[in-house]
């Protein structure tokens, strides 16, 4: 019953693609799956769960600058643009709007495929219409 929903959103907080993983799975799995779906962008805003050297290198290879704070367990701290990182609240607002749709918030569907299908139906209705 525990799952994580990973998403790629544009600068306005509209979702572009989703990926669903099991709850105890690391965020690196979602990052690797969504790496090919990233649009052409200057910056990527992400939380500490996506802080990995291989992910930063993959973003640099695509010409995207990461704005991801370093994990607390890192030996050498990683610098990030704190002013730009404040805009990550748009992503949190996007997830909040998805959870306003009661079916997504309470997770009525036990099957991950049905739950993901419900999210895929809710996103265009909430953000495009």
Is 56 within 8 Å of 29 (Cβ atoms)? Answer: no
Q: Facing residues of 7 across strands?
A: 18
In tens, the pLDDT along 58-115 reads 999 999 999 999 888 888 888 888 899 899 899 999 988 888 887 777 777 778 888 8
Delimit the domains of the chain by residue range. 3-128
pLDDT at 129: 61
Of 98, 80, 79, 99, residue with least CA distance to 88:
80
pLDDT score of 69? 92
**pLDDT, mean over the chain:** 87
User: Rounded to an integer, what distance in angstroms lies between the CA atom of residue 103 and that of residue 85?
Assistant: 30
Q: Within the chain, what is the greatest distance between any pair of CA atoms?
A: 46
Q: Which percentage of the chain shows pLDDT scores above 90?
A: 30
**3-128 in CATH: which number?**
3.30.420
Among residues of the chain, what percentage have pLDDT more than 70? 98
């Amino acid at each position: 019953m525990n799952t994580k929903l990973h998403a790629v959103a544009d600068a306005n907080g509209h979702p572009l693609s989703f990926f669903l993983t099991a709850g105890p799975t690391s965020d690196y799995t979602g990052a690797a799956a969504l790496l090919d779906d990233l649009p052409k962008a200057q910056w990527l805003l992400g939380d500490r769960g996506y802080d990995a050297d291989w992910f930063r290198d993959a973003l640099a290879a695509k010409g995207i600058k990461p704005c991801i704070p370093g994990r607390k367990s890192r030996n050498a701290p990683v610098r990030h643009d704190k002013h730009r990182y404040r805009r990550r609240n748009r992503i949190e607002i996007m997830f909040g709007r998805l959870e306003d749709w009661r079916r997504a918030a309470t997770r009525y569907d036990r099957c991950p495929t049905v739950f993901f299908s419900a999210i895929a139906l809710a996103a265009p209705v909430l953000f495009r219409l």
